[in-house]
Structure 1
C-alpha cells in the first residue's frame, strides 16, 4: 500500500530551488510569457478600438442614428407607427427655414434652421456629433449652433451667452433676428457645404410651424425587426397622396460588417500568437524537464509522488507566469496608449472620413481578463506534457531516458539503401510524427503570423492610398464663386511650365435636360431625403419644371479620353468606353441614388437641349458606381445628379463651358519647382490647388506610428517563430544525443552526422515552405479581403519580398541550427557520452 507523504513546504522549496538553478531557462520562459501576453492584449485592444471608432465615424457620416423617415406625418400616422412596435425610438424634426445672405449664396453654402424634439436630439443626433457645449435651447430667442455654421457666418469666436444677429428666411419671409447662443457643437455630415442651427420649441410655435406641414418623423428601427419593418410600415400606416417612407442605408449593419471583419483579422492573428506562444513556452519547459529528467527520477527514489512532481513542474511555470503576465499587460497598456490613437488616425488620414474618425482607445476589461486567462491556460497546457513525463518516469528509466519511443520497427535487412544519409534524415524527420508536426506547426505559425500582419499593413500602405485618392500629381479646381479665373489662359501657362508631363481638363456646363422620371425621380427623392427636405417641396419643384422645362439644368462635366480610360480601369463593372468617346453614352453620378444595384437604366435615354444654339442630342445612360475617387464631383442641386460626357461631345452641345477641374502630372524631379509656380498661379487667379506630395506627407506623418507598430509586431512575431523552431531543434538534438553517440561509436563520422542533421533541417524548411505557399497564401488572401471591408483603399499586394526573405531565413536557420546544436552538445568524447548511457 502506497502512503502519500505530506511535504507541501518541501515541494515549495524544491520548486523555488529549481527555479533558481535554471536562470537562463527562466529568462526565456518569462520573455515568452511577456511577448505572448503583450501581443494578445495589444492586438485585441487595437482591433476593438478600431471597430468602435469606425462605428462612431459611420454615425457621424450619416448624421443620425435613424434609418427611416416619414415627411409631414399626422398624429394618426405617428400613433399607427408606435402601435406597430417596430421602432426603437421616434424623433421629430421641424424645418424652420434657412439663413439668408448673399455671402452664403455666392459660396453655395446653406445653413438650415431646425427644431429637434428631445428624442431626436438626445438619442438620434447627439451620438453623431461631438464637442457638445451648453444646452439645447428652451427660450424663443436661444439657439444651438454648429461650429461650421459659425465659420460660415464669420463668428468663429462667438461663445455661449453671446448675442448674434441672423437674417432668417421663414416661410418665404426674410427678417433679421437676434439670438442668444445657448450651445454649440461639431457636426460632420455634409460638412463642406452646409451647417445647422437648432431653435427652441417656443420659436416654432411663435412662427406657426408644425410637424405635419414643415417636418418629418425620424425612426430608429429595433434591431430584431429591421428586415420586416419596411413592409409592415408600408402596409399598416395610412399614407397621404405623394407621401412615402424614405430609407437610409443601415449604418449599424455596416458597422457590424466592419466589426466582424476586424474581429476576424484580430482572431486569426491572435490565434497565431496564442499558438506560437504556447509552442515557445512548451518547448522551453520540455527542454528543461528532459535535461533534468534524472533529477526527477532521483526525487522519486526518496518518496516524491507523481502528483507532487507535477506540482513542482506546474509550480515553476505558474511562478514565472506571475512575473511575466503583469509585465506583458502593463506593456500592452503603455504601448496601446502611445500607438493605438496614432494607428487609427493613420488609417483614415487624408480621406473624406479623416475629420469624422475619432481615435479613442478602448480598454475593455474582458480583453485583459481574457489575455490573463489565455496566458494561464497556455502555461498550464505547456506544463502538462513535461510534467507528465517527469511524474510517470521511474528512477531507472530516468537514468536511461533518451526521449525516443520504445517501439519495435520492422526493417528490411536485405536492403542497402537505408544507409543513405538523405533517407536516414527523412526517416528521422517522420519517425516521431508528433514531433515532426510540432516543428512544422511551429515554423508555419511563425511565418503566417508575420505574413498576416505584413499583408494587413501592405494592404493599407501609402502607395495604395495614393493610387485610389491621389491619381494625379496636382489638382486645380475653380472656386464656387465667380471670381475664380481658371481659364484657358491659365491652363496654357500651366502647360508651359518646365517639368509638366500632361494636363487633363474637365470642363463643365449647365445644360437643359428633358425630364425622365424613371431616371431622375430616385435621385430627387434620395436627395430631398438626404438634405431633410419634404415631399411638398419636391412636388413644387416638379410642378415648376413642368411649367418651365428650362429650369431642369443638371451640371454636365466633359471628360478627356485619358480621364475616362483611367476611370474605366479603376472600376469593377466596365463601361462601353468607345460609345462614351463617340458621344453615344453618358454616365450619371450615383451619389443621390440609394439602391444603385437595383436600378436598370439600360433601356432608358436622356435628352439634352441647347435652345440658344438650337441643338439637342439623345444619349444612352449608365449609372456610375460610387466606388472610386477619380471623378470627385457632386452636384450642388438637391437630388440632381452630375452627368458625365466626353469633352468633344460637350463642346458640340454648347460653347458656354467652364474649366472646372484640371489634373496635372509632372516629372518627379520637377515636383517642387512646379508646385511653387502653381501656388503662385492659384493665389493670383483664385482656384483650389491640391498637391499629391503634400497630402502624402500629411498621410505619411500620421501613419508613421502605425507602420512602426505593424513593423514592430511583425518582427516580434517572426522572432517568436524562429525561437520556436530553434527550441524544437534544440529539443530534437538533445533527446537524441545518446543515440547519435552510439551511431558515432559504430563508425559514423561527425561530418556524416552533421550532414544528416542538416538534411533534416532542409526537409523541415522545404515542407514548411510548401505548406506556406499553398494553405498559407489562402490565409493571407483572406486577410487581404477582410482588410478591404475595413479600409476602402486597401488592395491585396502579394507579399513576394517578405515571403522570399522569410523562406531564405527559414532555410538558413533550419540548415545551420541542427549542426550548431550538435557541435555544442557533443564536445565530450564518444566514450564519455556512452558512459552517460551506462550510468
Structure 2
C-alpha cells in the first residue's frame, strides 16, 4: 500500500474525531486532567507539609541547626573552621543556675550565654517576638514569661529595665546573692525556663568554653542530605574525646530516609496517573479497532495512523494538563484551607493555612504528566497500527486462550460476574491496581500523619498523663527537704475523679562505700566520662569520706517494675526485685553493658550527714554509719524517670519501694506518676491542678503534663497536620475519580455485550445484579492487594521516616471509612453508568452501535 502525504487531512481528522466522539474525548481528557491534578496537588501540598514538618522540628529543637556537639577543643574548632561543609557554628553555654528568690525557694532556672551566631541566626526561626535587646552588661539578662513564673514573679509585672535579686550557683557549686536587670523579653519555642546572660557574666561563672558540662556547639551545614556513612565519617574526623558527644538533628540525620519515603509516595502517585491514562487510552483504542482498520482500506498507512493517534493524544494531553493545573491550583490554594476550617481547625490554634508554591512544581507536573501520557499511549498506539483491514471488518473482542468452556456449577450470576472479571485479566488487573494504588497511598499518608499527631508524638516518650515532682528535694541542703507528697496528699490524688492510678517514687539519700569489685570500677568510668579531675586525685577522699559522694536509693511500685522490666535489655526476676534482693542501676550514659555489672553486688549506706557535707553547720549521725544493705545488680536502665532528684557520682540504685522503707525512714516521695482513666482528660487534669494549688506547699510542686506537652507540639507544628489532612483528602478524592473514570470507559466498551445479553432474555435486574457482583469482586481484589502489598509498602515507607521510633499501627476509623466508601463506589458506579447507557437507544440500536 502506498503512503499518502495527507498531514493536513490527519490534523482535521484528529480534531473531527475528538469532536464527534465527545463522550470518549471527555473521558480521556478527564483522565489526563485528573493525573495532572493529582501530581500538582500532591507536589504542592506535599512541599507545604514537608516545610511545616521541618518548621515543627526547628521549633521543638529551639533552633535551626544540623548537628550539636558537647564541648569543643581548640584543635576541633580549627577543624570546623577549615571544613568547607560547615556553614556556621553557634554556641550555647551553661552559666550556672538561679536556685531561689524571695518569692520561690525552688526556682531552678538555668542561666545560659548565647553567642551572636546562635542568637541572631540559629535561634531566630524558633522565636515569635523579642522586646528589648540581648544582654551586654554583666548583670543583664534576657527573660521569658515562663522563667519569671518559675521564680515566683508572675504577679509583680516585671518588665524591661526592672531588677530582682536571686540566689545563684556557679560551676563549682558556690552560691551567692546576685542582682539581675532585665534587658529583654522573648517568646517562642524550645527551652524557656532559662535566663540568657551576657558574655561578661559567663566569664566569671567558673566554666570554660571547651567543657562538655557547659558548652554546646550548634552546627549548620551547606549540604542538606547526609548519608549514615557521611555522618559517621564526620564524627570520626572530629576525634571526639570520651566525654564528648556529637549528634545530628532530625533533618540532617534522617534526611535521606525521609526524602526516600516521600519519593516512594510520589512514585506510587505517578503509578496511579499512569494506570489511569493507560487504561482509558487502551479502552478507547480497543473500542475503535474497526475504525482504525477501515482507515487503512482508504489509503492510510500505519505510520499515518500512529501520527493521528499522537495528534489526538497531544490535543487531549494539552487540554487535560491545563485543566488539571487549574483544578489543582484551586484545590490546593483555596479548597484545602476551607476543608481544614470546616473540620474545626481555627487560625488561632494552628495559624493560617499557607500553601507553599514553587514554579518548579508547574514544570515538573507538566513534564511528568506528559511523560505519563506518552508512555501510557505507546501500547494502545501499537495496537491501532497493528490491526489489518480484514481483521478490523469482523473484529470482536476475544479473551483468554480456551475456545471450549464447561458449564460451571453454582449461581449463574456469580459465574457470569467471575467470568467477566477473569476473561480480560489485563483490564481487570489494571482496574484493581489503579484502585489499590490510590488507596495504598491514602493508607500510607494517614498512617504517617497519625504518627506525627501531637498525642502520638508525646505518648511516644511519656506514658503517664502527669508527673508531679517534689522540688524541695532539688535543694543541696537535705534539711530543707519536705515530704510534700505525703500519704494524705497521695490519697486525695488517688480519690480524685478520673484518676486511675498514682505511682509514687521514693528517694533516700545514700552513700556507696568504696570497694574494689564494683564501686571502684563504676567510679573510674564515671570520672572518665563526666569529670575533668582524674579519679586518682579523689580516690583517697572517696574511700575516707563517702558522704562527700552521695547518691540516691530509688524505690518504685510493682506497676512501675512491670514497665521497667519491659525496657531493660535483660530479664528481671520480679520476685527477687520486689523482695529487695536485686536492683537495677541507672546507666548515666556510661559505657557499661548489662554483662559488665550483672551479678555484682552494690552496697548502700544510709547518708550520715544532716546538711551539706563538709560545711561547718553539718551534723554527723553516728547511728547511720552502721546502716548498710547490699543488693545484687540485675541490669541497667537509661530511663530517667527512675532517678533521684539530683545526680550523684556513685550509681543511682533502683529497688522496690518496700526495700527503701525497710532500709531507712529518711525517705521521701520525690515524684508521682498519675494515670487518668481516660488519657488526655482535661477535666481530671484541672482537678489535679486544683489539688496542688490548694496545698500550702503549692510553690514547691512542679509537674509535666501530657496535655500541655501535646499542646506545645501542636503549637510547634502549626498547620502541618491540617495540610497533611489536605493531602490525604486529595488522594482519596483522586482515587475515587480514578476508578469512576476507568469504570465509565470499561462499561461503555461493553455496551454491545450487555445489549446482547438483554436480547437473549437477561432481565435488567439480572444485569444490574451482575454488575454489582463484578464491583464486589473488584473491591475484594483491591482490598486484598492493599492489605498485602500496599500494607508492606506502607510499613517500609513508615519505618524509613520513623525517626521517633513510634509504634506502627494503622488508624482504624480513616481506613474503615475509606473501605466502606470504596465498596460502595465499586457497587454504585457501574449501576450509574449502566443507567446512562440504557438511555442511548433500543437493544437493536445498541447492538448495531460501533464506537
TM-score (norm 2): 0.74
Does residue 1:650 correspond to 2:660, yes or no? Answer: yes
Specify the alignment match of 1:764 in structure 2: 778
The answer on whether the counterparts of 2:747 and 2:830 sit within 8 Å (CA) in structure 1 is yes
Specify the alignment match of 1:437 in structure 2: 429
The answer on whether the counterparts of 2:604 and 2:630 sit within 8 Å (CA) in structure 1 is yes
Does residue 1:507 correspond to 2:499, yes or no? Answer: no
Paired residue secondary structure (1:67): strand
Does residue 1:378 correspond to 2:380, yes or no? Answer: no
CA offset at residue 59 of structure 1? 5.4
1-structure distance, mates of 2:749, 2:532 = 82
C-alpha distance after superposition, 1:129-164 (max 9, x if no partner):
886788877x77696746477777789988888899
C-alpha distance after superposition, 1:346-399 (max 9, x if no partner):
9xx9xxxx9xx9999876655554344334433444555666667777899888
Specify the alignment match of 2:737 in structure 1: 723
The answer on whether the counterparts of 1:508 and 1:558 sit within 8 Å (CA) in structure 2 is yes
The answer on whether the counterparts of 2:593 and 2:636 sit within 8 Å (CA) in structure 1 is no
Paired residue secondary structure (1:250): strand
376-385 vs 17-26, which moves further? 17-26
The answer on whether the counterparts of 1:144 and 1:199 sit within 8 Å (CA) in structure 2 is no
Q: Which runs of 5+ in 1 are unaligned?
A: 238-243, 529-533
Specify the alignment match of 1:589 in structure 2: 586
The one of 441, 446, 457 aligned to 1:449: 441
Paired residue secondary structure (2:694): helix
The one of 272, 295, 304 aligned to 1:276: 272
CA offset at residue 564 of structure 1? 1.9
Specify the alignment match of 2:751 in structure 1: 737
CA offset at residue 707 of structure 1? 6.2
2-structure distance, mates of 1:677, 1:131 = 33
CA offset at residue 770 of structure 1? 3.1
- Aligned-residue Cα RMSD (Å) equals 5.7
The answer on whether the counterparts of 1:583 and 1:645 sit within 8 Å (CA) in structure 2 is yes
2-structure distance, mates of 1:339, 1:556 = 55
Structure 1 residues 135-154: aligned runs within 5 Å: 145=142, 147=144
2-structure distance, mates of 1:141, 1:396 = 98
Specify the alignment match of 1:519 in structure 2: 522
Query: Relative to 1, partners in 2 of residues 1:488 and 1:123: Cα closer, same or farther, differing over 3 Å?
Result: same
Does residue 1:797 correspond to 2:804, yes or no? Answer: no
Specify the alignment match of 2:671 in structure 1: 661
Paired residue secondary structure (1:247): coil
Query: Relative to 1, partners in 2 of residues 1:599 and 1:634: Cα closer, same or farther, differing over 3 Å?
Result: farther
Specify the alignment match of 2:332 in structure 1: 332
Does residue 1:556 correspond to 2:553, yes or no? Answer: yes
1-structure distance, mates of 2:680, 2:111 = 46
CA offset at residue 647 of structure 1? 0.7
Query: Relative to 1, partners in 2 of residues 1:562 and 1:439: Cα closer, same or farther, differing over 3 Å?
Result: same
Specify the alignment match of 1:684 in structure 2: 694
Specify the alignment match of 1:36 in structure 2: 38
Query: Relative to 1, partners in 2 of residues 1:702 and 1:186: Cα closer, same or farther, differing over 3 Å?
Result: closer
The one of 613, 617, 631 aligned to 1:619: 631
Query: Relative to 1, partners in 2 of residues 1:739 and 1:79: Cα closer, same or farther, differing over 3 Å?
Result: closer
Paired residue secondary structure (2:71): strand
Paired residue secondary structure (2:597): coil
Paired residue secondary structure (1:266): helix
CA offset at residue 36 of structure 1? 0.3
The answer on whether the counterparts of 1:143 and 1:199 sit within 8 Å (CA) in structure 2 is no
C-alpha distance after superposition, 1:661-695 (max 9, x if no partner):
23445666997886665444312321346666777
CA offset at residue 616 of structure 1? 1.0
Q: Which runs of 5+ in 2 are unaligned?
A: 474-480, 609-622
Query: Relative to 1, partners in 2 of residues 1:377 and 1:572: Cα closer, same or farther, differing over 3 Å?
Result: farther
Query: Relative to 1, partners in 2 of residues 1:819 and 1:445: Cα closer, same or farther, differing over 3 Å?
Result: same
Query: Relative to 1, partners in 2 of residues 1:418 and 1:797: Cα closer, same or farther, differing over 3 Å?
Result: closer
CA offset at residue 648 of structure 1? 0.7
Query: Relative to 1, partners in 2 of residues 1:287 and 1:639: Cα closer, same or farther, differing over 3 Å?
Result: farther
C-alpha distance after superposition, 1:297-317 (max 9, x if no partner):
999979886424522332122
The answer on whether the counterparts of 1:88 and 1:220 sit within 8 Å (CA) in structure 2 is yes
Does residue 1:411 correspond to 2:403, yes or no? Answer: yes
Specify the alignment match of 2:613 in structure 1: none
C-alpha distance after superposition, 1:434-460 (max 9, x if no partner):
212212211211331232233334445
C-alpha distance after superposition, 1:180-202 (max 9, x if no partner):
8887767977654x54423159x
1-structure distance, mates of 2:41, 2:511 = 61
Paired residue secondary structure (1:535): coil
Query: Relative to 1, partners in 2 of residues 1:271 and 1:543: Cα closer, same or farther, differing over 3 Å?
Result: farther
Paired residue secondary structure (1:587): strand
609-618 vs 172-181, which moves further? 172-181
Query: Relative to 1, partners in 2 of residues 1:295 and 1:657: Cα closer, same or farther, differing over 3 Å?
Result: same
Specify the alignment match of 2:71 in structure 1: 69
Query: Relative to 1, partners in 2 of residues 1:580 and 1:42: Cα closer, same or farther, differing over 3 Å?
Result: farther
The answer on whether the counterparts of 1:41 and 1:332 sit within 8 Å (CA) in structure 2 is no
2-structure distance, mates of 1:211, 1:706 = 38
The answer on whether the counterparts of 2:644 and 2:670 sit within 8 Å (CA) in structure 1 is no
271-280 vs 817-826, which moves further? 817-826
C-alpha distance after superposition, 1:564-620 (max 9, x if no partner):
224434677653333321223333334x41667698432543221014432112223
Does residue 1:478 correspond to 2:502, yes or no? Answer: no
Structure 1 residues 60-459: aligned runs within 5 Å: 60=62, 65-67=67-69, 69-70=71-72, 88=86, 98=96, 102-103=100-101, 106-107=105-106, 109=108, 111-112=110-111, 145=142, 147=144, 191-192=192-193, 194-199=194-199, 227=232, 244=241, 246-252=243-249, 254-283=250-279, 306-329=306-329, 331-333=331-333, 366-367=360-361, 369-382=363-376, 404=397, 409-412=401-404, 415-416=406-407, 425-459=417-451
CA offset at residue 510 of structure 1? 1.8
C-alpha distance after superposition, 1:3-50 (max 9, x if no partner):
234479858975995798889648845762464035412453145325
Structure 1 residues 774-789: aligned runs within 5 Å: 774-786=788-800, 789=802
Specify the alignment match of 1:53 in structure 2: 55
CA offset at residue 115 of structure 1? 8.1
1-structure distance, mates of 2:95, 2:672 = 37
Paired residue secondary structure (2:670): strand
641-650 vs 417-426, which moves further? 417-426
Query: Relative to 1, partners in 2 of residues 1:744 and 1:775: Cα closer, same or farther, differing over 3 Å?
Result: same
The one of 602, 605, 609 aligned to 1:609: 605
C-alpha distance after superposition, 1:61-110 (max 9, x if no partner):
89994426346x5xxx5798689979948979798964677539942625
2-structure distance, mates of 1:518, 1:126 = 45
The answer on whether the counterparts of 1:476 and 1:689 sit within 8 Å (CA) in structure 2 is yes
2-structure distance, mates of 1:550, 1:475 = 30
Specify the alignment match of 2:617 in structure 1: none
TM-score (norm 1): 0.74
